[in-house]
């Protein structure tokens, strides 16, 4: 029977002969090639990654309304998934199958040919299976949080009219729950780390002071001399790099009775000392997050009288009143503090700085695709305010995070803004409240768990406050008075660069010092010294859980996904605004049963080509030699 | 305008100088059809190849990663492989023409490489052994296809006028053998790229413009291989048949250049995974 069937393919039936012909192969390959070219010339909807109404706007603006409709009717915006492109691929597969069967003979020399052509069939089966049976989506997990919900990212049709756009959006919104897949297991994110290389890379940045000029960055480890940068008649010689220092406020013990008391804490891990931190009632309103722990807060209360101390010692629960406050510190003026109010620009007394609160978000997060600030949850997980600062002609808008007060990127206005959360809102699960008085013997530390007091301790030197297993904060010293002193300190992650710049035409030579990322103008050139610690890896440490029980732990990294129960989880994104301090990780989740057919196709194709082009010619030559 | 004056400059300029000398000598050798001069040009090209090898070794030791990441490294490897394949082909075939043409290609590619900053570190998604296999396979196949293209140019500019069937057959076989040798590597480039993408992003094919153009290039050479098979049935003079096939090899080379150097200029390139604009990483091939 089998031979009979094969004979069918060997018949002189014109349809079969056409389907098996190399002519058809060539025509189909050319058509597919032309379609691919078209797909790289017409903007693909998946590449733009915008909602339907935006797509409509972009496309009509680019191609005009009429051409947009024609293009859309021809599925040119989802070209590679369009029905006619699929038909071309199907015909190619049919061509391969018929051609293979027609030429099928039991000969070893046939092996390469058969493997090569049947691999295309496997590839297509894999692709079709992938399209029909695969799941893919993204899950966002917060550090300490657990999730099994995967949000699918659908490929939405492109609308031709505004009404269609609204319709697509409506159906998209209605299908919200259908787009959520639940994994048969859940993922707990233990930690997320942006690991950086130990060795920094120092670069000299330069660009012409013109909007159309494209900046260049020269790695000064490899290149010390730049001739005619951006066509300017200059020769720049990099003389050297050094750590950038800047006057920094540091706490030192003092004697002035006007200065506040201070606590010096030493963070110890398994008995080994590490980080040292100072803490005073003047700092950040007397509240700060415990180093190394997100869930613990430190509070410092300086009591004025014995009665006040006793009242606080007797408190069994934390009071839950208060309002959010904003605090602005500008050099040369007393710190300015007021309740948080959106809008209403306010001049900081005694300075030329004006501050306006633009926006408040209870949980700051950044959409990876649109780079827009989103609010994933109404709970206070990462409260932040968007603040505009103006000082004369300089102005900037910056995000200020209540629970990450140190995080400011690229400040232009020299003012320190702090967002002080109300006590009720800030309440972290664990709070250590330090009670201090004028009497060094009357010092206490209280431990509150979820607002309830569970311990009163005497504030003695050497008292250890547990942070997490194996880690404690030890009271190393207690100063009656401490003050801030200004010292030259290395600025981490910044570099200073010394340059000698010679004008080739006039011979004039200058020495220039670039400090950190601050741009300096020289002639028509803008220069800056950049230091970067390149990202080595993104690491999500996850625990895989099933039915509420932990199963195993795994590190998910770039190029090292987690595979479990047919699903593959890839490191995909993080809070790029928060950068290294990202509190969540975005994992891409895939399940594609077709991939094994694709891989089998790859294997067959490779093997087939090696046989056809390397082994067969060798064998032919050998047999030719033996014949002659 | 080339503005390249860093730690890699000595080896870079040494190889460039050797290639310039080799190209000029090869041109003179060709004009006079002088075997001794041709070998002199060959030797100069070989020295350029040695200097280029030194440059690659220096890059490898300076960065600690194989010099296959970033456009600078990729193009230098491209030029390096063209030298190797030229040296092999010329040793076997004594074309006299390849020394001039391969020399021009090498000089062009090196000058282009010099306009790019050498990469000093890799983004995490590039940290994969597949990267090196991917780029290596591509650069090798591109170099082979470039020499196949040069063989076609040699044939057109010079030999086709002689019109004898023996030369035509010889160059047809040379072109075919080069393409047939390079095609599996071109395929390996596509496949390793897909496997790597699946490891890194969970998608083996995302139709980004560089991927699409690499597939188009692959299709052009697949068409060439099939057409050559089919062309045996054509009833036409050998020269005419050969001319048709040669046009496809030229088209293939044009598509390689588009894929490798120009894909980032396409309107769809914004969404490409193959284009990096971060501090540390420039475009890669």
Residue B158 has pLDDT above 80, yes or no: no
Q: What is the per-residue pLDDT for B144?
A: 94
> Which is higher by pLDDT, B43 or A211?
B43
Widest distance between CA atoms in chain B: 59
Do the strands A296-302 and A430-436 form a parallel or antiparallel pair, or are they unpaired?
parallel
Q: What is the per-residue pLDDT for B1?
A: 35
3-state SS assignment for residue A567: strand
Mutate to test the interface with B, among A613, A614, A615, A616 (most CBs of B within 10 A): A613
Mutate to test the interface with B, among A33, A89, A580 (most CBs of B within 10 A): A33
Contact assignment for A203 to B279 by CB distance below 8 Å: yes
Contact assignment for B124 to A80 by CB distance below 8 Å: no
Written as six digits, the tokens of A324 are 């959010």
Q: What is the per-residue pLDDT for A459?
A: 87
CB contact B35 to A (< 8 Å)? no
Widest distance between CA atoms in chain A: 115
- In B, which residues are within 8 Å of A224 by CB distance? 6
> Which is higher by pLDDT, B70 or B266?
B70
Compute the residue count for chain B: 285
**Strand-pair partners of A554:** A542
> Which is higher by pLDDT, A108 or B10?
B10
The answer to whether A429 and A395 are in contact (CB under 8 A) is: no
Contact assignment for A223 to B209 by CB distance below 8 Å: no
The answer to whether B252 and B224 are in contact (CB under 8 A) is: yes
For A382, phi then psi, to 5°, come to -145, 75
Point out the residue among B202, B270, B280 whose CB comes nearest to the CB of A588: B202
Point out the residue among B124, B204, B280 whose CB comes nearest to the CB of A558: B124
Closest-CA distance, A196 to chain B, in angstroms, reads 10
> Which is higher by pLDDT, B281 or A236?
A236
Q: What is the per-residue pLDDT for A452?
A: 86
Contact assignment for B117 to A47 by CB distance below 8 Å: no
- In B, which residues are within 8 Å of A558 by CB distance? 124-125, 127, 200
Point out the residue among B121, B122, B226 whose CB comes nearest to the CB of A22: B226
Q: What is the per-residue pLDDT for A405?
A: 67
- In A, which residues are within 8 Å of B13 by CB distance? none
Closest-CA distance, A330 to chain B, in angstroms, reads 33
Contact assignment for B199 to A49 by CB distance below 8 Å: no
CA distances in angstroms from A216 to A239, B112, B119, listed in the order given: 19, 16, 13
pTM attached to this predicted model = 0.70
Per-residue confidence band for B2, with pLDDT thresholds at 50, 70 and 90? very low
Residue B272 has pLDDT above 60, yes or no: no
Residue of B nearest to A594 (CA): B204
CB contact B127 to A (< 8 Å)? yes
The per-residue DSSP string of A343-386 comes to: EEEEEPTTSSEEEEEEEEESB-EE-TTT--EE-S-SS-SB-EEE
- Between the two ends of chain B, the Cα-to-Cα distance in Å is 22
- In A, which residues are within 8 Å of B232 by CB distance? none
Contact assignment for B226 to A532 by CB distance below 8 Å: no
- In B, which residues are within 8 Å of A613 by CB distance? 180-181, 183-184
Contact assignment for B124 to A221 by CB distance below 8 Å: no
The answer to whether B100 and B27 are in contact (CB under 8 A) is: yes
Closest-CA distance, B242 to chain A, in angstroms, reads 17
Contact assignment for A40 to B266 by CB distance below 8 Å: yes
Residue B14 has pLDDT above 90, yes or no: yes
CB contact B115 to A (< 8 Å)? no
Point out the residue among A231, A535, A592 whose CB comes nearest to the CB of B124: A535
- In B, which residues are within 8 Å of A599 by CB distance? 195
Q: What is the mean pLDDT of residues B26-33?
A: 90
Residue B198 has pLDDT above 70, yes or no: yes
Strands of A482-503's sheet, edge to edge? A225-227, A234-253, A482-503, A509-515
Contact assignment for A598 to B204 by CB distance below 8 Å: yes
Closest-CA distance, B64 to chain A, in angstroms, reads 13
Closest-CA distance, B36 to chain A, in angstroms, reads 33
Q: In this structure, what DSSP letter does residue B279 have?
A: S
Residue spans of chain A under pLDDT 70: 1-11, 132-133, 249, 270-274, 282-285, 320-322, 367-371, 376-379, 405-410, 423-427, 625-628
Contacts of B10 (CB under 8 A, 6+ apart): none
The chain-wide mean pLDDT, for chain B, equals 84
Q: What is the per-residue pLDDT for A264?
A: 87
CB contact B169 to A (< 8 Å)? no
Point out the residue among B6, B121, B271 whose CB comes nearest to the CB of A47: B271
Q: What is the per-residue pLDDT for A367?
A: 65
Residue B255 has pLDDT above 90, yes or no: yes
Residue of B nearest to A603 (CA): B191
- In B, which residues are within 8 Å of A225 by CB distance? 5
List, as ranges, residues 174-203 from B with C-beta within 8 Å of A: 180-181, 183-184, 187-188, 191, 194-195, 198-203
Point out the residue among B123, B124, B184 whose CB comes nearest to the CB of A610: B184
Q: In this structure, what DSSP letter does residue A560 have?
A: B
- In B, which residues are within 8 Å of A617 by CB distance? 180
Nearest to B255 by CA among B207, B176, B196, B186: B186
CA–CA distance, B171 with B148 (Å, rounded to integer): 10
- Between the two ends of chain A, the Cα-to-Cα distance in Å is 41
Residue of B nearest to A126 (CA): B204
CA–CA distance, B206 with A501 (Å, rounded to integer): 47
Contact assignment for B223 to A33 by CB distance below 8 Å: yes
Nearest to A133 by CA among A566, A594, A596: A594
Closest-CA distance, A536 to chain B, in angstroms, reads 6
- In A, which residues are within 8 Å of B188 by CB distance? 606
Contact assignment for B6 to A222 by CB distance below 8 Å: yes
Residue of A nearest to B197 (CA): A559
Residue of A nearest to B207 (CA): A80
Question: What is the CB neighbour count within 10 angstroms for residue A328?
Answer: 23
CA–CA distance, A510 with A499 (Å, rounded to integer): 8
3-state SS assignment for residue A263: strand
Q: What is the mean pLDDT of residues B115-133?
A: 78
Strands of A535-546's sheet, edge to edge? A549-557, A535-546, A180-196, A146-152, A135-142, A584-591, A567-574, A562-564
Mutate to test the interface with B, among A96, A127, A534, A560 (most CBs of B within 10 A): A534
CA–CA distance, B78 with B112 (Å, rounded to integer): 11
Long-range Cβ contacts of B58-63 (<8 Å, 24+ apart): B58/B7, B58/B8, B58/B11, B59/B8, B59/B118, B62/A222, B62/B7, B62/B8, B63/B119, B63/B120, B63/B121
CA distances in angstroms from A291 to A17, A273, A294, A393, listed in the order given: 76, 13, 8, 37
CA–CA distance, A327 with A375 (Å, rounded to integer): 24
Residue of A nearest to B269 (CA): A40
Per-residue confidence band for B5, with pLDDT thresholds at 50, 70 and 90? low
CB contact B236 to A (< 8 Å)? no
- In A, which residues are within 8 Å of B128 by CB distance? 559
Residue B277 has pLDDT above 50, yes or no: no
Residue B164 has pLDDT above 80, yes or no: no
Q: What is the per-residue pLDDT for A15?
A: 85
Q: What is the per-residue pLDDT for A395?
A: 86
Residue of A nearest to B191 (CA): A602
Q: What is the per-residue pLDDT for B192?
A: 94
- In B, which residues are within 8 Å of A47 by CB distance? 208, 268, 270-271
Residues A517-565 pLDDT 10s? 788 888 889 999 988 888 888 899 999 999 889 999 999 998 889 999 9
Contact assignment for A197 to B267 by CB distance below 8 Å: no
């Amino acid at each position: 029977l089998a031979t009979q069937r094969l004979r069918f393919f060997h018949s002189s039936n014109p349809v079969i002969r056409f389907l098996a012909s190399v002519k058809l192969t060539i025509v189909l390959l050319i058509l597919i090639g032309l379609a691919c070219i078209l797909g790289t010339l017409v903007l693909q909807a998946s590449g733009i990654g915008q909602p339907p109404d935006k797509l409509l706007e972009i496309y009509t603006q680019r191609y005009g309304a009429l051409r947009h409709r024609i293009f859309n009717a021809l599925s040119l915006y989802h070209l590679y998934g369009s029905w006619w492109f699929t038909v071309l691929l199907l015909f190619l597969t049919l061509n391969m199958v018929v051609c293979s069967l027609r030429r099928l003979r039991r000969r070893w020399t046939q092996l390469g040919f058969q493997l090569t052509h049947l691999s295309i069939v496997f590839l297509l089966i894999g692709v079709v299976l992938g399209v029909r049976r695969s799941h893919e989506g993204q899950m966002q997990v917060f550090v300490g949080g657990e999730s099994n919900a995967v949000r699918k990212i659908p490929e939405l049709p492109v609308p031709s009219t505004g009404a269609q756009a609204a319709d697509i959006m409506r159906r998209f919104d209605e299908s919200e729950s259908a787009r959520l897949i639940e994994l048969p297991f859940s993922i707990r994110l233990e930690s997320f780390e942006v690991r950086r290389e130990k060795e920094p890379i120092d670069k000299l940045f330069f660009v012409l002071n013109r909007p159309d000029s494209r900046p260049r960055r020269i790695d000064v480890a490899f290149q010390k001399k730049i001739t005619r940068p951006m066509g300017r008649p200059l020769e720049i010689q990099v003389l050297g790099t050094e750590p950038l220092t800047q006057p920094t406020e540091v706490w030192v013990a003092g004697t002035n009775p006007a200065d506040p008391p201070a606590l010096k804490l030493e963070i110890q891990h398994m008995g080994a000392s590490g980080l040292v931190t100072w803490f005073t009632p003047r700092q950040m309103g007397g509240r700060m997050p415990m180093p190394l722990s997100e869930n613990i807060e430190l509070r410092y209360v300086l009591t004025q009288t014995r009665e006040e101390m006793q009242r606080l010692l007797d408190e069994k629960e934390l009071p839950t009143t208060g309002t959010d406050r904003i605090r602005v510190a500008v050099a040369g003026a007393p710190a300015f503090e007021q309740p948080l109010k959106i809008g209403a620009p306010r001049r900081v007394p005694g300075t030329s700085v004006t501050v306006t609160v633009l926006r408040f978000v209870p949980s700051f997060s950044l959409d990876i695709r649109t780079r827009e600030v989103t609010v994933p949850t109404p709970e206070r997980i990462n409260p932040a305010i968007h603040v505009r600062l103006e000082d004369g002609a300089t102005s900037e808008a910056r995000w200020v995070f209540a629970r990450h007060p140190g995080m400011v990127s690229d400040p232009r206005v020299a003012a320190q803004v702090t967002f002080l959360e109300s006590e009720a809102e800030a309440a972290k699960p664990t709070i250590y409240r330090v009670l201090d008085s004028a009497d060094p013997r009357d010092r206490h530390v209280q431990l509150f768990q979820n607002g309830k007091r569970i311990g009163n301790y005497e504030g003695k030197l050497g008292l250890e406050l547990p942070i997490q297993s194996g880690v404690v904060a030890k009271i190393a010293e207690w100063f009656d008075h401490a003050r801030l002193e200004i010292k030259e300190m290395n600025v981490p992650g910044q570099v200073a660069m010394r340059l000698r710049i010679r004008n080739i035409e006039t011979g004039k030579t200058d020495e220039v010092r670039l400090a950190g990322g601050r741009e300096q103008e020289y002639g028509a050139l803008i220069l800056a010294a950049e230091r970067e610690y390149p990202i080595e890896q993104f690491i999500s440490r996850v625990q895989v859980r099933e039915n509420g029980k932990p199963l195993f732990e795994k590190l998910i990294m770039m190029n090292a996904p987690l595979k479990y129960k047919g699903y593959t989880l890839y490191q995909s994104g993080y809070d790029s605004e928060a950068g290294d301090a990202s509190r969540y990780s975005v994992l891409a989740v895939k399940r594609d049963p077709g991939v094994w057919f694709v891989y089998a196709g790859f294997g067959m194709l490779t093997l087939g080509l090696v046989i056809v082009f390397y082994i067969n010619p060798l064998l032919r030559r050998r047999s030719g030699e033996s014949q002659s | 305008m080339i503005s390249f004056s860093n730690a890699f400059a000595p080896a870079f300029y040494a190889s460039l100088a050797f290639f310039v000398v080799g190209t000029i000598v090869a041109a003179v050798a060709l004009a006079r059809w002088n075997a001794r001069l041709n070998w002199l040009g060959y030797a100069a090209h070989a020295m350029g190849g040695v200097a280029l090898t030194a440059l690659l070794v220096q890059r490898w030791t300076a960065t600690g990663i194989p010099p296959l990441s970033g456009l600078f490294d990729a193009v230098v490897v491209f030029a390096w492989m063209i030298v190797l394949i030229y040296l092999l082909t010329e040793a076997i075939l004594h074309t006299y023409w390849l020394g001039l043409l391969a020399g021009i290609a090498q000089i062009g590619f090196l000058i282009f490489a010099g306009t790019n900053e050498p990469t000093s570190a890799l983004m995490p998604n590039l940290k994969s052994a597949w990267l090196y296999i991917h780029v290596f396979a591509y650069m090798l196949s591109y170099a082979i296809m470039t020499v196949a293209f040069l063989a076609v140019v040699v044939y057109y500019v010079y030999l086709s006028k002689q019109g004898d069937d023996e030369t035509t057959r010889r160059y047809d076989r040379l072109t075919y053998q080069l393409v047939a040798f390079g095609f599996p590597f071109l395929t390996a480039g596509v496949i390793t790229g897909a496997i790597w993408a699946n490891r890194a992003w969970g998608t083996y094919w995302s139709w980004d413009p560089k991927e699409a153009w690499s597939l188009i290039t692959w299709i052009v050479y697949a068409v060439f291989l099939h057409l050559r098979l089919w062309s045996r049935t054509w009833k036409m003079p050998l020269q005419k048949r050969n001319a048709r096939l040669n046009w496809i090899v030229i088209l293939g080379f044009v598509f390689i250049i588009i894929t490798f150097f120009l894909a980032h200029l396409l309107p769809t390139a914004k969404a490409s995974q193959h284009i990096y604009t971060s501090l540390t990483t420039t475009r890669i091939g």
